[in-house]
Amino acid sequence: MVVVSGGRVAGVVTDRTPDLALRGVLLPGLVNAHAHTEYGPSFADLATAGLPFPQWIGELSARRRSFPADGWAAEAAGSAAAMLASGTTCAADVVTHGPGIRALAAAGLAGVSYVEAVGADDAVWDSHERARVTELLTADPGAARSLGISPHTLYTLGTRVFRALVALAGDLGLRLHPHVAETAEEVLYVAQGEGPFRLAMERFGLTMELAGVGSARTPIGELAELGALGAGTHVAHGVHVDAADRALLRERGVAVALCPRSNAVLGAGTAPVAAYLREGNPICVGTDSLSSSPSLDLLDDVRALRDLARAQGYDAPDLDARLVAAATAGGAAAMGLADIGRLRRGARADLVLVEGPASDDPHATVVGGAASAVWLAGERIGA
């Protein structure tokens, strides 16, 4: 039982009968550590289109340029409703267009709205992208949320632009959340400056410093060179990383938001989940958007991570417990949120009741289950 006062946890009472198999578990609300709520229900057909990643991102870019400006709020609201219905009460939301900031605040979701910069070389940055990002960073994110910056990727932003975004985050005291090492094509582009991403940026008329030359570094190494890896950063995807990359992430205290179903839909590859676990990398869980994922149910991604870890040889008995932690406290820690993701006195009373297979291990029940009731700041949603 959880005692709530003023929207906060006032106490936790454990009254489980010993040796009684659990069918329902009350736990902190789930934390989605990587989402794009503005790419909501109207973009869901892209998740079933079967497009390889370079074509998918080209189609998404074309669609977003022609999407009506007054439609983004409804998309983000639809995504927020889907997250709440499946037990997510806190989200790291990458906001490209702006209305997602207000939509998640209105829905009552805690977390960080990361204003995204994308598709910018020096000329674009100086002409309008800097002003657009700066303007969005003046928005009111709501009492339960804060703002951050998301430099999209190393291939959709020029090197100087990426550095400028890192500097801007430092000047404003904001957190960073870039995508990194999601695809093999990205690895090729960052190292050698070649491949489909070079061609795509040239088709968009963008002049990028890495094009044709590369950096001779991995994407993780390049982020480090740009000053983007630190305690205020968590990254999305982290699929194509080697042991040295993982060690660098651990050294810098950078968590990785793993999005296995999105990676599968886009043919991006499979993250080294077992290695992250064995080596002690901080991890969290994300769904990505409805444009690349079958749903925004975070527990579906937790189950996908469990399957990957087992297939990669992780056979320790703590797997379910570590994945539940990643989907709650891990996501909160990645966003620097001390009062989210844990059942303890003073924490925000965001809760989810998960019902699942009867088990003596509550973590197994959660991993195999589904949300049946959700509370925000102690108030039941949809009651």
Judge whether residue 343 has pLDDT over 90: no
- Determine the pLDDT at residue 19: 44
Each residue's pLDDT tens digit, 157-215: 999 999 999 999 999 999 999 999 999 999 999 999 999 999 999 999 999 999 999 99
Confidence tier at 22 by pLDDT (50, 70, 90): low
Cα separation, 372 vs 349, in Å, equals 17
Give backbone dihedrals phi and psi of 101, rounded to 5 degrees, phi first. -60, -50
The mean per-residue pLDDT over the stretch 352-365 comes to 93
Q: Which CATH class is domain 2-14+27-380?
A: alpha beta
Q: Of 75, 116, 182, 186, which residue is the catalytic one?
A: 182
Task: Tell me whether strands 379-380 and 370-376 are parallel, antiparallel or unpaired.
Answer: antiparallel
Half-sphere exposure of 145 (CA within 13 A, CB side): 30
Cα separation values, 99 from 37, 124, 150, 291, Å: 10, 22, 16, 17
* Number of neighbouring beta carbons within 10 Å of residue 224: 19
Percent of the chain's residues with pLDDT above 70: 95
Give the least confident one: 9-13, 84-88, 315-319, 356-360: 9-13
Structure tokens belonging to residue 55? 């074509």
Task: Tell me whether strands 370-376 and 22-28 are parallel, antiparallel or unpaired.
Answer: unpaired
As a whole number, the mean pLDDT across the chain is 94
Task: State the residue for tokens 């108030």.
Answer: 379
Confidence tier at 152 by pLDDT (50, 70, 90): very high
Cα separation, 269 vs 372, in Å, equals 32
Confidence tier at 13 by pLDDT (50, 70, 90): low
Each residue's pLDDT tens digit, 298-334: 999 999 999 999 999 999 999 999 999 999 999 999 9
Single pTM value for the model: 0.96
Contact 46, 105 (CB under 8 A): no
Contact 27, 324 (CB under 8 A): yes
Residue 235's beta-bridge partner residues? 256
- Determine the pLDDT at residue 12: 75
Each residue's pLDDT tens digit, 256-292: 999 999 999 999 999 999 999 999 999 999 999 999 9
Q: Where are the domains of the chain?
A: 2-14+27-380
Cα separation, 371 vs 353, in Å, equals 6
The mean per-residue pLDDT over the stretch 226-238 comes to 97
Confidence tier at 8 by pLDDT (50, 70, 90): confident
Does the annotation mark 182 as catalytic? yes
- Determine the pLDDT at residue 358: 87
Each residue's pLDDT tens digit, 217-227: 999 999 999 99
Contact 284, 258 (CB under 8 A): yes
Give the least confident one: 74-83, 85-94, 339-348: 339-348
Confidence tier at 69 by pLDDT (50, 70, 90): very high
- Determine the pLDDT at residue 98: 96
